[in-house]
Structures are given as structure tokens and as C-alpha cells.
Amino acid sequence: MLAVLPFENLTGDPDQEYIGDGMTEELIAQLGRMDPSRLGVIARTSAMQFKKTNKRADQIGSDLGVGHVVEGSVRRTGGRIRIAVQLIETRSESQLWAEQYERDAKDLLTLQRDIAEAIARQITTSLGIARANVTADARRHSSSAEAYEHYLRGRYHWLQDTTDGLQKAMEHFRRAIELDPFYALAYSGLADTYTLIGSYGILPMSEAYPLGRAAALKALEIDDTIGEAHNSLAAITSDFYWEWADAERHFKRAIDLGPNYDTAYRFYSSYLAWMGRHEEALGFAVRARDLDPVSPHAWHNLGVVHYFARRYDDAITQFREALDLDPTFGGAHVMLGRVYVAKGLPDRAVKELERAKGLLGPRPDVITPTAYVLARAGRRREALATLGELQRISKPRDPSPFRIAYVHIGLRDKDRAFEWLQQAVEARDWQMGMLKVEPAFDDLRSDPRFAALVERLGLPR
């Protein structure tokens, strides 16, 4: 296992942070194409935990479970860029290879490929690992230095995962495309942005997902070897279009093209869980966790897979691991609430959801399970008041009929639940994909209307 640690920004200018972060991300993507049976490359999320760290290489190796780390720094002065990089064996903290590069800023893309090629060559020589075809990745990026810089800025803002960051990311990806209309990876970044904007309710799903799909298809029309675009298209295809077989084909293609691409493993594991293929889902979720071992999101995803498989104690363990890594991770408290109510412990569930609300605020994904749990706890008046709150905060941004149906199940009002589920189908509510496996829906499964819904969505029986 190898980790590419965040390249240090030595310019003294925070606005230049994107250069080092972009170098880190691209090296992870390029080196991730090595033979995965011989070398695993730690995902960016876990690697970024060590940005500006004082930990020694042996400590980082122990934390991440890696034998080697790549460290580097970036300095930009005027029109020149200097990059220093070294490969370190973690146990002995010995330097296996080091080099410095200095080029014109317009040669950043060439410089990046030179570094990736040198590291790949050193790993091949030192570890006897099958050769990586790093130079084949040259066509991933534009020949326009300005377009490439906008792509790096766009990805930097996208990874902030905030409303403001996503809006800035969209601006930069669009600018990169204006400068180079055949920049496949910029279209892929735009697709990723629309996907998050739709799922967060910043734009209506009916607007965001078709725009995201168009961007992903354009990326693949230009270059069908972009694994990120296949993963984006797969997520959109399953979440909004419910074309399950086509989605799986693109998930598999994303993994074939990026065998160390943790996001593809994580997304595919969720898809498999929705399909009820729990053992397969678990295998891919574990692989995503191994590639991203100090990311709370990877542990959270593993917990969700266990939850859908009704392995509640295992799920609790994974969510607690996520909270150990990040005590402010409200999503883990939300899922713990859902697990506890499924185990018949509504009072404990309420406490977890109260913690989630304190961290995340009154978001629909917090209010919905809270109303459901209150109903299951016999606190009907409070549940109805919380349902009213959900409907108030959701309009007009994200009315989500699925969420309202979920609460009516807790209130044991099956007819109203089915009415809202029918509306969820009409609205193409992305959460309908979990219909087959969500434990809260167990009370509906014997009703013929439920089987009709499953058939209408095309989910496997």
C-alpha cells in the first residue's frame, strides 16, 4: 500500500493551494492504475487528513497501513513552478528516491506527468510491481494550461463539499470547457457537481440530474476511458433514471479503469445494497474502506451496507468508528438513530437524532427519521409536529414525497404512505432506490401495492 500525501504549498499564498492539491489528486489517480493485486493506493480523503501534519512517516504508515508514502512541495514564483518530491519507505523512514523539477507554469501538466512517470518507475524497480501505464493518462487533460488550471481550481472547490464551493466549482469547470470544448475531465467534473447540487436540493432533481447526465455523456463521447465519468453517469442513471443494468455496467467500467478509485467502490457498494446483493455490497464497501481507511465517510458507507442487510450490531460498530475519526460527523448519528429504532430502541434513537440535529441543523435528512422515531416511540403529537416542520423546511427546495411517506409509515398510516410513495415515483425521488431494502418499509411488504411499486421501479424481486 502506498499513500500520496498532500503536496505542501510553499508559495505563502493560500490562493495557490489548488496547485498542490491538484498535483496530489492527479498522482493518486495516475498511480492508482497500477496492478491492484500488487499495490493499493490510498484515497485522497484519507491522504488529506495528513495535510500540514507533524507526524513522522512511520506514524503515517501505521495509521494508514501503508509501506510507502510520496511527499512533495510546490513553490510558484512568477511564471515558474518548482516541485520537490520524494518516495519514502515508512517503517525505516528511508528515502528511496527524490527529485526536484522546475518549469514554466504553462508546463504544469507536463511536469505532473514527469513526476508520475518517475515515481512509477521507482516503484517498479524497488517493489517488482507490474508497470503502470502512466503516460497513457496524458490525454486526460487539456493542452491548454489555462483550461487545466481552471479544472484544478474547480476540483479544489468541489472537494470542499459546500454550497459556495459547488457553485465556484461549476464556474471553473464551465470556464475550462469554454477554453477547451473537448476537455473530457472538465465535463466529468461538471457532472459530479450537478449530481451533488441535485442530491442536496440546491437545484431541483428534475433539473440537476439531466444536466449532470448530459455532461457525463459528453465526457465519455470525447474519451470513454475516463473512469470518473463512468462513475458519475452510473450514479445519475441509478438515482434518477432507475436504469439499473446500465448503471451497473458503468460502475464496473469505472472500477476497471480505476482499480484504486475508492469512490467507485463506495458508490457501487451502495447500488448493490439497494439491489439486495448484500454479500457483494459488503465486499466492495470493505475495499473502499481499505483504500480510504481514515475517512469517516468510508466507515459510514460500510455501516449503511450492514444496516440494509439487517446486521444492526455490525452497523453500529462501523458508525462508531466513523465518529471516532470525526466526532462532528452528524450523518453517523442519523444512521445510528435509524439502526436503534430498527432494533426496537426508539428512546436511544431519539437521543442520536437530537445529537445529529445539533450538528447538522434542521435538515430534511435529520427531521425525517426524527419524526419516524417519535411516532414509533408512541409520541404521536410530537411526530406530527415534526412532520409539519419537515414540510415547512422542504418547500419549495426539496419536497421529497419519499420522506413524507417514511414518516407516515412510522405513524402506521399505510394508505397515506402509499399515496406519498406513488408521488415519489412520479417525482423520480432518488431515495426510492432503497425501497426494497430499507427496514422501515418492512411493515408494507405484505401489501400488494408494495410489490407493484417494486415492479414499477424495475427493482429485482
**Mean pLDDT of the 174-203 span:** 90
- What pLDDT does 25 receive? 77
What's the Cα-to-Cα distance from 391 to each of 176, 240, 366, 368, 396, rounded to whole Å?
Answer: 39, 22, 13, 10, 9
- What pLDDT does 272 receive? 98
**Mean pLDDT of the 296-323 span:** 96
Among the residue ranges 72-86, 229-243, 268-282, 402-416, the one predicted with the least confidence is: 72-86
- What pLDDT does 364 receive? 85
As a whole number of angstroms, the distance between CA 451 and CA 136 comes to 48
- What pLDDT does 21 receive? 78
Task: Give the confidence band of 135 by pLDDT, cuts at 50, 70, 90.
Answer: very low
- Tell me: pLDDT of 138 over 50: no
Quick one: 2-140 is in which CATH superfamily? Answer: ABC-type transport auxiliary lipoprotein component (3.40.50.10610)
β-strand pairing of 68-77 with 8-9: parallel
Task: Determine whether 389 is exposed, middle or buried from the number of CB atoms within 10 Å of its CB (0-12, 13-18, 19+).
Answer: middle
**Mean pLDDT of the 307-316 span:** 98
- Tell me: pLDDT of 332 over 90: yes
Domain with CATH 1.25.40.10 in the chain: 141-258
- What pLDDT does 173 receive? 97
Q: Which CATH architecture has domain 141-258?
A: Alpha Horseshoe (1.25)
Secondary structure letter of residue 163 according to DSSP:
H
Among the residue ranges 98-102, 227-231, 308-312, 348-352, the one predicted with the least confidence is: 98-102
**Mean pLDDT of the 232-245 span:** 94
Torsion over CA: 19, 259, 261, 8 (sign): negative
Torsion over CA: 4, 9, 15, 16 (sign): negative
Task: Give the confidence band of 461 by pLDDT, cuts at 50, 70, 90.
Answer: confident
As a whole number of angstroms, the distance between CA 94 and CA 151 comes to 35
Domain with CATH 3.40.50.10610 in the chain: 2-140
Between residues 430 and 307, which one has the greater pLDDT?
A: 307
**Mean pLDDT of the 418-443 span:** 94
- Tell me: pLDDT of 88 over 80: yes
- The pTM for the full model equals 0.83
